[in-house]
Structure formats: structure tokens, C-alpha cells
Amino acid sequence: MPKHRPGTTRRALTALIGILTGLLTMSFSLSGTASAAESGKKVPHPEDHWAGSQILKHEGGSTTGEEPPGLLATTEGVDVSSHQGNVAWSTLWNSGVRFAYVKATEGTSYTNPYFSQQYTGSYNVGMIRGSYHFALPDNSSGAAQATYFVNHGGGWSKDGKTLPGALDMEYNPYGSTCYGKSASAMVSWIKDFTNTYKSLTGRDAVIYTSTSWWKSCTGNSSAFGSVNPLWIPRYGSSVGELPAGWGFHTIWQYTSSGATVGDHNKFNGALDRVQALANG
């Protein structure tokens, strides 16, 4: 029978412990890598992007700031971002503006440094306001961005003054128009965002998009029209053709050069309809 050698046993245990430690280290390393990838990468100039910034660049249109003729039962609104800095909300209120959307986030690394002044300031003068998220579908998942949005100003409360959050889907300011995604992958990303937003807030997100971008990047999907209100940008005398699935628009961004802040909108209905959207 071979003799027991304590030194051999100790060496075997030391080797085994080394292997287990290596496996645990590798596991934590991979977990950390996955978490970092999910959180998304920082973007270079998020302060330069707001609802319609890429629409004007790619689609153009009249931006005289003049109110479109012949519109009945509409409510005037604006949308703002850090691009406007501190906003003169009293001036806008006195000019007839009654609702506002404020950019809260972009991707999963940017928050608007003027958000508090803009979001709270519009509320304090009496406006019904909401917040929006500038989407970067190649940066992180829809669920990750919806969660980041809700945690940084995109939430909702039934106070009669808070609109559901809006998802800004437009041309990629950093690269390829459709963020390197196929139409089916883009639709899946948007569903991931809207489903997560609904689960966190109980509300269906408003979708901001142009018909041209929607056709190019979702294959003109009709998957959202029956659920998500449409906020459409078109700088001209009429809304024009709508994306597939929507029989009507809820909000029309009709100019990027209106009075005081530039981006002005028409809600498709009187003030009581804006209140109805806020109340859910």
C-alpha cells in the first residue's frame, strides 16, 4: 500500500483552490462585461439632439413658425431640451401655450441638465407637461433605455398634469439612419421599450416619429397604431401622410422656429383632450 504524503495532499488542495478561484473570477468578469454592455456606451454630444433635430436635417420643410391655417379645436404646445436652457415659461403661457414635452434622457448615459427648470417650470405656470426619451437603438436594449428613462424623469402620475412619456424615434445622429438594425429588429426594439415602459408606469408611451423614417426603418410597421399615441413632425401646412397603423395623429410638431423656444406643436383636440391623455 502506498504511503500517505501530506505534502502531496496540500499541493493538490492548493491547485484545486486556484482552479476554483479562477473560475469565480472569470464568472464575475463576464457578468461585469454583460452589465457594462447593457448599460450602453456614452454618446459624444447628446445636448445637440432634440425632438426633430434630425428630422429637419434629413427631411427639411418650412420653418417659418407661422401657425398652420384652418385648424379647429387644437391646443398649442412646445417641446424643449437642454438646447433651450432656462425657458421663459410665463412668456409661453401668456402666448397661449398649454402643454409641453421636455427631453429627459438619451441612451442610458445622458440626462438633461435643465430638466428640473423645464419640467417643473412648465408645471408651475399651469401647463400639462410630459417628458421624452431620445432613443439610441444601437446603444443598449429597449428595456434598458425605458428603465433609465423612468428612473430619470420619465415616470407618470395621475395628477391631471402629467402626460405619458414619449419615445423619440428618428434619424441616427451618430451613424446609419436605422442604427444598423433591420426593420424587424427595430420593431422588436421599440416593443421592448414600450412594453417595459408600460410595465413600469401603467401607461402606453407616445411615439414621436416621421412617416419617412418609420417607413425606412420599421418597414412601415402597423404594430403600434392601435395602442401608442402618435406625435408626428412635419414642418409645413399640413400633417400629411401618417405612418401605417395610425388613423389619426395626437400631436403635430408643425415648426422648429416658433416664438420663444422654436419647436411648437398642435394637440389634435381641445384642452380637455390633453387633460384626458394626462389622466389616462
Catalytic site positions: 79, 168, 170
CA end-to-end span of the chain: 82
CA distance 279 to 31: 41
Q: Which of 217, 213, 229 is nearest to 265 (CA)?
A: 229
CB 197 within 8 A of CB 155: no
- SS3 state at 101: strand
Q: How far, in Å, CA of 79 to CA of 76, rounded? A: 11
CB 214, CB 220: distance < 8 Å: yes
DSSP label at residue 165 = P
Q: Nearest 5°: CA angle at 133, between 226 and 148?
A: 110
Distance of alpha carbon 196 from its chain centroid, rounded?
12
Question: Are 231 and 213 contacting, i.e. CB atoms less than 8 angstroms apart?
Answer: no
Question: Can you give the length of the chain in residues?
Answer: 280
Q: What's the CA gap between 78 and 260, in Å, rounded? A: 10
Residue 27 C-alpha cell reads as 464568472
Query: Which residue is it, cell 391646443?
Result: 75
Amino acid at 139: N
* 3-state SS class at 150: helix
Three-state SS at 133: strand
